[in-house]
Amino acid sequence: MLGVIAAVPTPVDVTGKPQKDLFLSHCGWLLANGCDGLNILGSTGEANSFDMQSRKTIMRWAAEALDHSRLMVGTGTPSLAQTIELTKFADEVGYEVALVLPPYYYKPVSDDGLFTWYNHLHEALADSKIAIYFYNFPQMTGLTIPISVIKRLHKFYPERFAGIKDSSGNLEYCREIAAKLPNFSVFPSSEVSLGEADESGFSGCISATTNQTANLSAKIWASRKNPDAGLVREISQLRDKIAGTALIPSIKYLVAQRTKQNLWENLLPPFCALSDERKSSLTTVVDQLSYT
């Protein structure tokens, strides 16, 4: 999978129960408005605030309704057993790619410890065809997945460990991986990086803000050999406005504005509702975007 991939939020009711129709409707809108693929149940999808059964339910909704070749799903937890269970389930229902966080609770984690953990995941998957993309998010996990560990796992199991989503914001980290592993998919978390995707060897982006910038991001990806610098600046400005405060509540609020469905504003704890001041500041984003 290449190109613009949206990290999809998950709508819930006031009790925290996932809402199928709203979820699938938004997924369909994203795929019709510039996204090449969707990342289900990542950080934007509040995955780690759901119980295992809810995660499986949401995974099944997307797998039954959408093209599997355009889907990836977050299955990582600090528990190896739960990560194996979720990843096996993802494979069974048709996902081709799983994003897997490192085991982040017990720190410090040695390189050998990380290798062993991911190696156990690979062995448990046995003949399953699902590929694993590392999910590097040090702001949440407290650790950066060492490039040496990524290289080692990819060397031994190139078809299994085939890519990375990097949410660190460190493009030098992404550039180094792309340079050292030419057959490895590297997805930074900002669509602004699409402006250098061709030069740096990036496979696209996996981003929360593409829930709003999908159309614009698709234009950059399509012309990545000669990107429009003005369009890159426009997207950068939009990202700054959306991500400045309370990213995930802001993403969901903006989806509510587009769809006129206030249920999208519901959040799982520990997230809190946006202030009126923050909502007001996001009206400029609504005005700037051209939704279809």
This prediction's pTM: 0.96
**Domain 3-225 classified CATH 3.90.1150.10?**
no
Q: What is the pLDDT of residues 74-129, one digit of tens each?
A: 999 999 999 999 999 999 999 999 999 999 999 999 999 999 999 999 999 999 99
In angstroms, rounded to a whole number, what is the distance separating the alpha carbons of residues 173 and 154? 16
Give me the sheet containing 161-166, strands edge to edge. 185-188, 161-166, 131-136, 97-100, 71-74, 37-40, 3-7, 204-207
Q: What is the pLDDT of residues 194-225, one digit of tens each?
A: 999 999 999 999 999 999 999 999 999 999 99
Question: What percentage of the chain has pLDDT greater than the value 70?
Answer: 99
Q: Which secondary structure element, helix H or strand E, spans residue 91, and what is its range?
A: helix 80-93
The dihedral region occupied by 204, where left means phi > 0, alpha psi between -120 and 50, and beta the remainder, is left
